[in-house]
C-alpha cells in the first residue's frame, strides 16, 4: 500500500510559486483576467478581429513583461502567438495616449470680431 510522504512546509506549492509575493499574485491575477478574455483572443487570431480590450491587453502585458517567460506557452499559446499579442498590446498602449488638448483661442483686445456677419471692434 502506498502512503503519502511528509513534505517540509518550505516545499509547499505556495512556497515554490512564491504565491505570497506581490509580483506572483499579480501574475496569477493576470492569468485569470486572460482566461476571462479568451473569446477576444480567439477572435483576434481566427477572424482577424483587431481589437482586444484594455483589461485583456493589461493582462497580456503583465504576463509578458513581469511574469515567467514561458507563461503564455504553458497555457497553450505558441511563442509566435505570444509575440503577436504582446506586440499588438504594446503598440495599442503606446498609441492610445490622448493627444494634448489644443490651446484655448485667444482674442487680443484690439482684434475685430465677426458675429453673424456683423463686425465688432472692442
Q: What pLDDT sits at residue 107?
A: 54
Confidence (pTM): 0.58
Q: Residue holding cell 513583461?
A: 65
Q: What pLDDT sits at residue 109?
A: 55
Q: What pLDDT sits at residue 88?
A: 93
Q: How many residues does the chain have?
A: 122
Q: How far apart are CA 82 and CA 46, in angstroms?
A: 15
* Mean pLDDT, all residues of the chain: 74
Domain annotation covers residue 121: no
Domain annotation covers residue 1: no
Helical (H) or strand (E) element with 17: helix 13-17
Q: What pLDDT sits at residue 93?
A: 80
Rounded to 10 degrees, the C-alpha dihedral 74/75/78/79 comes to -50
Q: How many domains is the chain built from?
A: 1
- 59-106 residue pLDDT tens: 999 998 888 778 888 888 999 999 999 999 999 887 655 444 555 555
Which has the higher per-residue pLDDT, 35 or 7?
A: 35
SS3 category, 115: strand
Q: What pLDDT sits at residue 80?
A: 93
Segments forming the whole domain that contains residue 33: 17-95
- 9-49 residue pLDDT tens: 555 555 545 545 566 788 889 999 998 999 999 999 998 87
Domain annotation covers residue 33: yes
Q: What pLDDT sits at residue 71?
A: 86
Q: How far apart are CA 76 and CA 46, in angstroms?
A: 15
Domain annotation covers residue 104: no
Amino acid at each position: 500500500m502506498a502512503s503519502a510522504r511528509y513534505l517540509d512546509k518550505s516545499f509547499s506549492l505556495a512556497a515554490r510559486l512564491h504565491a505570497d509575493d506581490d509580483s506572483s499574485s499579480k501574475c496569477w491575477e493576470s492569468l485569470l483576467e486572460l482566461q476571462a478574455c479568451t473569446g477576444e483572443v480567439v477572435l483576434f487570431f481566427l477572424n482577424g478581429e483587431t481589437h482586444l480590450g484594455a483589461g485583456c491587453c493589461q493582462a497580456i502585458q503583465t504576463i509578458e513583461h513581469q511574469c515567467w517567460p514561458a507563461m503564455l506557452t504553458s497555457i497553450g499559446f505558441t511563442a509566435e502567438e505570444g509575440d503577436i499579442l504582446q506586440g499588438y498590446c504594446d503598440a495599442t498602449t503606446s498609441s492610445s495616449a490622448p493627444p494634448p488638448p489644443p490651446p484655448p483661442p485667444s482674442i487680443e483686445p484690439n482684434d475685430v470680431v465677426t458675429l453673424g456677419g456683423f463686425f465688432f471692434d472692442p
